[in-house]
Structure 1
């Protein structure tokens, strides 16, 4: 009987969230199982305070790009944790670097087969391989890779009826100064990893002006802060201070609606069962979210090839703000 497993999901925030949903079902199947999660240091905050994770092990593989000698420190760290004698190491990332981490940690290793990932060579590092189409829904892919090697399955109904699975503790109390009790609280996520994944700041401002509610804007870097300042200057939206992941999770859990681009903080809403509208242009809505009655998507008219995303496709800008406004009204007032 398995006693200890390791999950390898290094980055990024949205991808980690899509994997985390499986934890509650793993623990339901194996209540006493020790689950250790290996993650890039910069994303560990999204995992913190989750009662289903026994240990969060922080790696810094990205540092190797700046200093090649750092690879020895990372290997030394992994060899240390190999002594944990994991019964199974699960690679939910499917990259060569995550496959190498998996190989260094244990003898029994599970991951995607070569037809299920972009970096096909990674599949040669696994002793057990899972077949699921690369262009399939990301949440279903992650649930399968984290359940099938453990000899059980997670159904679509299970996912629809999931419990919230992001947790926070000792959040920054300043966030409660921005939340109002006499109005609906709506959070805007205006940033994304690419400019072409970001919705129009002018249209965001129009959305704010069309609804008499309490709009808040979260941001993570200077570019996003400038966008937030534009929206605030042209509407009644308030800009939140820069928040750590713990406090951001708290805000997302407290608002009545989140509207945002296809990016990590937006996916927090789905994880916390908070109503949301996720906007898609050059990324596939059917793949990157799990739509529910309260978690909706709006996709531009462009056709997306999930095997080759087009960073020059700015079609998200073409989404009619009135479509977003009407959907927001449905979620806020029905």
Structure 2
């Protein structure tokens, strides 16, 4: 096998969960060429990774706004079908991603019918991988990518991973915000749904309970306004607008990341940086990997991964003092 394509279109956290497999694929197949198909908005998280030969940026989300976009996207995918992939692995498990796989190559692997939400997607695969949908997302991605290639990535492998996000030529302004005399703590205050977002006021209380250099990152105007609000009522500092390359750099330089269940928080796990991920209406056991330095805190909601409740705002019931306690343990207690 000389050349494969991986399809993992979105979102940032899901892409990060899949990327962990790359280092193990390369250990088994050092000369293998790996191309990755992704939604353009998230391609930055893949950039500078030495295990990826080519990043192909798609705009399938744009089809919702402009139906004509389907023709340009179809043309783009068909052009890459000439790359003669020995295997195409769909790690997304959606109908749209399985259709991309269908046009890219004859040999296609992906989740089995009972292993993914959009069961029809499995119809397009020539090799189907079984793993329960409610299993840990990182293990699911590792399974579909490794089993498709005939080897196994173990839990021990995942726990002992090398950092796998890479950056270069980052915006040097970030170093103006990092403190050499205090611990640097990055707060990720946004998320894709309002009910996944922890209280601004409680974030501020956490910040004031930590006598450290606390930084706030944001990705859109609404998050920026939330960051400015927190800055106004606490000792935090708001970072400037950062692209994904510079965001990876910031995460790699801080001592701790505290944030909602969203892509930038998962960057910490990928970079072996200490983190606390706050969960309300999404399942902590499924959406991250706990380690000696990567911790989670959850609301008391009983979460059904097959049917997430976007009207569940229980995340705001989490006591900020519990987060402060975990943060101080991660920042100050010596590790064995």
Flag whether TM exceeds 0.5 (same fold). Answer: yes
Residue 170 of structure 1 aligns to a residue in which SS? Answer: coil
What does the per-residue CA deviation read over 1:249-301, in whole Å, with 9 as the maximum and x for residues that have no partner?
00000000000000000000000000000000000000000100000000000
Q: What is the alpha-carbon distance in structure 1 between the residues aligned to residue 42 and residue 203 of structure 2?
A: 27
Partner residue, 1:115: 114
Partner residue, 1:101: 100
Q: What is the alpha-carbon distance in structure 2 between the residues aligned to residue 311 and residue 158 of structure 1?
A: 34
Partner residue, 1:42: 41
Residue 139 of structure 2 aligns to a residue in which SS? Answer: helix
Q: CA deviation at 1:320?
A: 0.5
Runs of 4+ in 1 over 3 A off after TM superposition: none
Residue 152 of structure 2 aligns to a residue in which SS? Answer: coil
Residue 286 of structure 2 aligns to a residue in which SS? Answer: helix
Q: CA deviation at 1:226?
A: 1.2
Partner residue, 1:328: 327
Partner residue, 2:257: 258
Q: What is the alpha-carbon distance in structure 2 between the residues aligned to residue 91 and residue 17 of structure 1?
A: 15
Partner residue, 2:311: 312
Partner residue, 2:147: 148
The worse-fitting range, judged by mean Cα deviation, of 56-65 and 256-265 is 56-65
Q: What is the alpha-carbon distance in structure 2 between the residues aligned to residue 312 and residue 119 of structure 1?
A: 23
Partner residue, 2:171: 172
Q: CA deviation at 1:20?
A: 0.2
Partner residue, 1:202: 201
Q: What is the alpha-carbon distance in structure 2 between the residues aligned to residue 226 and residue 58 of structure 1?
A: 30
Residue 141 of structure 1 aligns to a residue in which SS? Answer: helix
Summarize the alignment of residues 20-31 of structure 1 with structure 2, pairs less than 5 Å apart. Answer: 20-31=19-30
Q: CA deviation at 1:72?
A: 1.1
Q: CA deviation at 1:93?
A: 0.1
RMSD: 0.5
Q: What is the alpha-carbon distance in structure 2 between the residues aligned to residue 188 and residue 35 of structure 1?
A: 33
Q: CA deviation at 1:67?
A: 1.5
Does residue 162 of the first structure (1) align with residue 195 of the second (2)?
Answer: no
Q: What is the alpha-carbon distance in structure 2 between the residues aligned to residue 67 and residue 60 of structure 1?
A: 11
What does the per-residue CA deviation read over 1:39-87, in whole Å, with 9 as the maximum and x for residues that have no partner?
0111100000000000000111111112211111111111111111100
Q: What is the alpha-carbon distance in structure 1 between the residues aligned to residue 55 and residue 47 of structure 2?
A: 8
| Structure 1: runs of 5 or more not aligned | none
Residue 159 of structure 1 aligns to a residue in which SS? Answer: helix
Summarize the alignment of residues 1-334 of structure 1 with structure 2, pairs less than 5 Å apart. Answer: 2-334=1-333
Q: What is the alpha-carbon distance in structure 2 between the residues aligned to residue 240 and residue 149 of structure 1?
A: 41
Q: What is the alpha-carbon distance in structure 2 between the residues aligned to residue 309 and residue 78 of structure 1?
A: 32
Q: CA deviation at 1:219?
A: 0.3
